[in-house]
Amino acid sequence: MRVPEQPPARQAKVELEPTDRSGAELFRVLRSDGSADPATDPKVGSKDLGSLYRLMLLNRALDERMTTLQRQGRIGFYIGSVGEEASILGSAFVMRPNDWIFPAYREHGATLMRGMPLPRFLANLFGNELDPIRGRQMPCHEAWEPGHVASSSSPLATQLPHAVGVGWAARLKGRDDVALAYFGDGATSTHDFHTGLNFAGVFKAQTIFLCRNNQWAISVPLSAQTASETLAIKARAYGLPGVRVDGNDLLAVIAVTRQAHERARSGQGATLIEAVTYRVKGHSTSDDPRAYRKDDEVEPWLRRDPLVLLRQHLVHLGVLTGAEDETLRAQAEEEIRTAAAQVEKAGPPALESLFEDVFAKIPWHLEEQRAEALSASRPTRLE
């Protein structure tokens, strides 16, 4: 599912200059009554907002269905983005086809927005014969070259230097390509975070760093992650602007990312965006957050669910009714259920594929191993 390209719009003014308290304030657009602050509204058309809402619903339905399938033993692992959809999809919406996305491992919605077919994504989760990676990559670690989405990697922040390299190369070549790198609050404690931001600051790489500050790095709370006042303020040490945005406010994320994008492609360099949000579910299906946090911590964030905020805004604009919303939700759930059922029917990758994609021409010793494996896998007739 691809969101239509947005038309040029008046840019909301967001302060992106490094100061002593860079990024200390939280940037918002949506008000409690569903209206948008006219001073900061990025003026996204109702058609695009509707497409974004449908994609957010699809993303949520995907997370819920895949979690169920994992619990049933039908897929091995899943990592979702419940509560973080606005920070992911709002920022990805700003990126053009020639720009690059460097995801962490929760940005499935961004990958679908960039054109990856849903069955292709699901095949990675099942690891079956429909999976182009042939079941060799961890689930939820997709890549989509046609949409300029780089491969995900489990080690934290390793994608940041890569995104800086793409942003720097664009600057050297005189191109206006921009790279967007996603990561979580836990990644800010890694050496690649320092390496990436330092290099980007020195060489003015055309890169946007988007930190999804969801308050938890698996079981480590933000308070045990850093003594810094905010994560955005860390940008100042690297000579970069840092901005702190309400990560559940889709319009605010779009406004801030647009400004960072304009800054990058105009040769002014990189920006660090701290999208303040919350990881509503566990880190992954392998995690039980009840072991380290209380339910009453989650409740306030549920009231600011990004889907709820955007739905209120669409209702305020008069482009969505309650009945239409129920229909859209049912359609999203059915699309996920139908696609998953179809992909699940496929068999496992062929045994001989285990020996492929290693050498351009399979050497003799692997040929022998393949022949032996295939011979051993054939059923033996009992006399």
279 among known catalytic residues: yes
User: pTM of the predicted model, to two decimals?
Assistant: 0.91
Which pLDDT value is given to residue 12? 54
Q: Which residues pair with 100 in a beta bridge?
A: 179
Residue ranges per domain, the chain?
Answer: 26-349, 351-383
- How many angstroms separate the CA atoms of 281 and 64, rounded? 10
Which residue in 60, 108, 236, 279 is the catalytic one? 279
DSSP-derived letter for residue 228 is: S
Q: Say which residues have a Cβ less than 8 Å from residue 238's Cβ, sequence separation at least 6.
A: 197, 198, 200, 201, 272
Residue count of the chain:
383
Which pLDDT value is given to residue 81? 98
Which residue in 258, 261, 265, 283 is the catalytic one? 283
Question: Could you name the CATH architecture of 26-349?
Answer: 3-Layer(aba) Sandwich (3.40)
Token readout for 381 is: 């007739």
Which pLDDT value is given to residue 377? 76
Which pLDDT value is given to residue 7? 45
**Which parts of the chain sit beneath pLDDT 50?**
4, 7-10, 17-22, 383
Report yes or no: 329 and 75 within 8 Å, Cβ to Cβ: no
The pLDDT tens digits of the residues spanning 193-233 come to 999 999 999 999 999 999 999 999 999 999 999 999 999 99
H or E element: which one contains 171?
helix 159-172
